[in-house]
Structure 1
Amino acid sequence: MAYSDSAPSVPLRWNFSQVLGQQLPSEPLQNDDIITTVAFEKRGDYLAVGDRGGRIVIFERDDRNTNVSSNRRDLEQRDFALRHPKFRYKTEFQSHEPEVKEYKVKHVKEMAPPLCSENMLLAERSFVPGLETTSAANGYRLEWIEKTPQNHLPPQDVDSEIGGIENPFRSKCQKVYASAHSFNINSISNNSDYETFVSADDLRINLWNLEVSDQCFNIIDMKPSNMEDLTEVITSAEFHPLHCNLLAYSSSQGLIRLSDLRHAAICDHASRIFQHRESNGSKSFFTEITSSISDIKFLNDGQHLLSRNYMNMKLWDMRRESSPVAIFKIHEHLRPKLRELYNNDCIFDKFGCCFSGDGLHFASGSYSNLLRIFSPGSGREEGIKLEIRGNSDRKAIHQAMPRARRSSLSNIIPRGIYQHAHVDSESHNVDFPCNESSKLLQVAWHPTCNLVACAAESSLVLYYA
């Protein structure tokens, strides 16, 4: 099921599930341990986490008992008992060595079958411009090994066992897609053709074949002949989930461009451009910074696109370019503090976004480790904030006011700055706290159930509904 203007949605009640990698109170937080990306495997059986130290940690679903009998009654009881997935540590590997502190894993993507093993991952890394090393996307495959003592293992060149004799896995680097970017890679995206993927940096987007690691095709190049004329950079790129020829990418100017790879080898002219022109209100020095899009994601139906900038999250209908169909205000209460946020560099924080498998609920993070979840079709315009802590007795904090149900989002707010858009109008009335030192940048929604994973510094906190 996917989002529609009149799609009914049941309000969700959120509860704490578990915390993975909880830090002890006396344990100092290491910069390399801070989580920088979170992603579920397409079936939801695995959860991958990347950190600033270049590590990829994989968790597997732990709530399924393989010893349960297969008769119908036992299966029904088992299904009744499992309200939400639980995860446990499975293995980890080093994507790359953090030679300098700016190295970090920024995205992880499952490599698409059938050409690759289902346990293969793409991991992109960022680096410091000016160094001789280049950024790369590495393909890793997890393999079973016998539980032999560590001193009897064969010499480790490319292969490496992780976790000692208790961990029956090793990571094997299959390919290194190298020497193709001169700037930080900000996103990678698999294509629905199961053969190609793209990697994007600030100025270029390259198209790769999964089987060819030494050659790529530059399909988008925004680098001007004179770098002093640079006014816009690429911030994120995403393939369409259904049509392998369509690619969307966002920019620092708040634009989302949709390109058709069939039109030309160099997609320098977008087929469609999605831009919301907020005409009302005075523009300031900070307007361009806050309008920069940090994340975009296609919904599963392929008809809608979710985007996140510093101030809010927007839902776009692919058939309408001029304005989004829904706007969820997240940081409007911070508008008077933009100068302060600029001085401490918080205004440049990149918040991610995610959506439920049915396309009816949307989530993104904020400061003070708050998770904002929106369900526009539930008959309530609500923003739910969850206080991310590490203890199981913490409950979800709801801030919502009941409102009359609307039959269609196109009838909501027919005038003003957010014309033709559904807006979470209650959120600006709530006095949300703002602790800039604790920020929830990375969130991921389980593909088949209402389970959200939130990266709070070095811990991964899961909530279910």
Structure 2
Amino acid sequence: ALCDKHAKLFEEPEDPTNRSFFSEIISSISDVKFSHNGRYMVTRDYLSIKVWDLLMETKPIETYQVHEYLRSKLCSLYENDCIFDKFECSWSGDDRHIMTGSYNNFYRMFDREAKRDTTLEACRENMKPRTILKPRKVCTGGKRKKEEINVDCLDFNKKILHTAWHPLENILAVAATNNLYIFQSKD
């Protein structure tokens, strides 16, 4: 690529009150993708996804927390090297949704217009034809509901690092361990 005038630096100023031993590691960008319309860029760091307007490099225009519930577990994630996992992200064909992976074979989708997020699980039980996927939730303590999983029960060996969204259809692919799951939405 050729820069005729200058380079652009997209950087969000760090809040000094949130600085810790892990700050540099968790803010390291593991993936970056341009939107299909060319106006935006999405970056993925360890705990979040950020959407940047290419005309405004001072701060992201949107930030989505992927697994903020892991912040209190950074020490153990450092000890087992999970903090160095490199999660990818992907845009839907219409740039309305962003998808990324997480632990426990969960993958997250963020609806930019409705400001909603969904956590789904890639597993063999979901592979029967016409199966309706049930959203999953991770709880951090206290009383949990039946459909929730406690953060202490997450399997960090099951992780979705790679995701892809079909550019024209509502079809997505997630790579979970040694399996490739393809999901298609009828709506």
TM-score, with structure 2 as normaliser = 0.84
Matched, 1:441 2:164: no
For residue 306 of structure 1, what is the amino acid of its counterpart? V
Matched, 1:334 2:54: no
Distance, in Å, in 2 between the alignment partners of 1:458 and 1:277 is 38
Distance, in Å, in 1 between the alignment partners of 2:171 and 2:35 is 17
Residue 455 to residue 432, structure 1, CA distance change in 2 (3 Å): farther
Structure 1 partner of 2:123? 389
CA contact (8 A) 1:355 1:445 kept: yes
Distance, in Å, in 2 between the alignment partners of 1:431 and 1:327 is 24
Distance, in Å, in 2 between the alignment partners of 1:331 and 1:321 is 25
In the TM superposition, 1:77-96 aligns within 5 A as none
Distance, in Å, in 2 between the alignment partners of 1:428 and 1:319 is 38
Give the Å deviation of 1:289.
Answer: 0.3
Distance, in Å, in 2 between the alignment partners of 1:454 and 1:444 is 7
CA contact (8 A) 1:390 1:461 kept: no
SS for the counterpart of 1:285 is: coil
Matched, 1:354 2:74: no
CA contact (8 A) 1:383 1:399 kept: no
CA contact (8 A) 1:329 1:428 kept: no
What is the RMSD of the two structures over their aligned residues, measured on CA atoms? 2.3
Give the Å deviation of 1:432.
Answer: 6.2
Could you report, residue by residue, the CA deviation over 1:112-137 in whole angstroms, capped at 9, with x for unpaired residues? Answer: xxxxxxxxxxxxxxxxxxxxxxxxxx
For residue 294 of structure 1, what is the amino acid of its counterpart? S
Could you report, residue by residue, the CA deviation over 1:139-190 in whole angstroms, capped at 9, with x for unpaired residues? Answer: xxxxxxxxxxxxxxxxxxxxxxxxxxxxxxxxxxxxxxxxxxxxxxxxxxxx
Distance, in Å, in 1 between the alignment partners of 2:102 and 2:149 is 13
Give the Å deviation of 1:463.
Answer: 1.3
Structure 2 partner of 1:398? 135
Give the Å deviation of 1:280.
Answer: 5.8
Distance, in Å, in 2 between the alignment partners of 1:449 and 1:432 is 34
TM-score, with structure 1 as normaliser = 0.35
Residue 457 to residue 331, structure 1, CA distance change in 2 (3 Å): same
Matched, 1:310 2:46: yes
Higher-Rg structure is 1
Matched, 1:301 2:31: no
Structure 1 partner of 2:184? 464
Structure 1 residues not aligned, in runs of 5+: 1-244, 247-259, 264-269, 401-426
Distance, in Å, in 1 between the alignment partners of 2:65 and 2:156 is 18
* Higher fraction of helix: 2
Structure 2 residues not aligned, in runs of 5+: 142-147
* Higher fraction of strand: 1
Could you report, residue by residue, the CA deviation over 1:39-64 in whole angstroms, capped at 9, with x for unpaired residues? Answer: xxxxxxxxxxxxxxxxxxxxxxxxxx
CA contact (8 A) 2:121 2:136 kept: no
SS for the counterpart of 1:273 is: coil
SS for the counterpart of 2:76 is: helix
Distance, in Å, in 1 between the alignment partners of 2:180 and 2:51 is 26
Distance, in Å, in 2 between the alignment partners of 1:399 and 1:276 is 30
For residue 134 of structure 2, what is the amino acid of its counterpart? I
Percent identity, aligned pairs only, is: 36
Distance, in Å, in 1 between the alignment partners of 2:150 and 2:122 is 14
Structure 2 partner of 1:450? 170
CA contact (8 A) 2:120 2:136 kept: no
Give the Å deviation of 1:447.
Answer: 0.7
Distance, in Å, in 2 between the alignment partners of 1:302 and 1:331 is 27
For residue 445 of structure 1, what is the amino acid of its counterpart? W
